[in-house]
Amino acid sequence: MSSDLTDALLQWYRRHRRDLPWRRTRDPYRIWVSEVMLQQTRVETVIPYYLRWLERFPTVADLAAAPEEEVLKAWEGLGYYSRARNLHRAAREVVARYGGAIPDDPAAFARLPGVGGYTAGAVMSIAFGRPLPAVDGNVLRVMSRLFAVDEPITRPGTRRRVEALVAELIPADAAGDFNQALMELGALVCLPGAPDCPRCPVAAWCRARAEGRERELPRREAKAPSRPETILVGVIADGGRYLLARRPRPGLLGGLWEFPSVPFAGGARPEEALAQGLRERLGVAVEVGGLLTRVEHLFSHRRWDLLAFCCSLAPGSPRPEDREDLRWLSPRELGAVPLPAAFQKVAAALIERGAAL
């Protein structure tokens, strides 16, 4: 069964695979970049980012030599910025420890920052032909249907079981194509909720289809609801420029820039809480004016409600100087620093309001 299934899947993939930029190369760096970008992001979104990234950082050495802020700016809009920071750190380690050559040893590659089991399996199999499984969400869905896996795919034990099943099927002489074929089948045919079974090249081996359960599988455990958080934002103006602060590197959106913000737990007027929070965070006294804009932004695990207020320095308050974590920028200069999507919306509202350009 396994060899027939494998052959049918590979034949289908070689006829129907999409022409994607990262499929035109065996360069492990370029394949690695694509796999990191594709995590939790649609192919259509990734393609322009991938092409721009390789124009700016064509080799792992170019990436390693770049300042972190430039790397984060190139990533701006893709989200999950820890992916970019880890890729940057890993590139520096590749240059320092391996002379700029991506290690083809799976254990060595897996020790690089941000490289998990999926990324290691994908890069090692596609770039180097290593017969290692690469199990992403598409593969979990395909395999759970093929083998009627009843355990929720969100559990680590289920992922390990699926990895073992893929390892039994993967051909030693076509590991990269096989892993990509499973991913492609999940992306084009074995879709969430509505699998197109008549078009499936391996429908004859699918246990879920035989049992009439192809729409029931895979099973998922209910996700915890996103945690709501209210964030107060100070858009502090002085002489046609606005104060930007760098977020602490550990934590959410670390290393990116923002209009200074503070969490709000209630118990006071938002304007009072913002003024006090900015005094504690930055040592700056401000007068808080009217509401500039309200922004809702959803992360995977939390939901932000941003209240952005127009602010000015209080009379007699010293003007903070530019430093590593603070900058005064004009509206035209805001595009030069990496701003999270929520704060890009604040910047857009600022410009729409008619800020001095």
Catalytic residues: 35
Strand-pair category, 241-246 with 227-238:
antiparallel
* Residue entry with tokens 């970049």: 33
Can you say how many angstroms the Cα of residue 100 is from the centroid of all Cα atoms in its chain?
Answer: 24
- Centroid of chain to Cα 176: 23
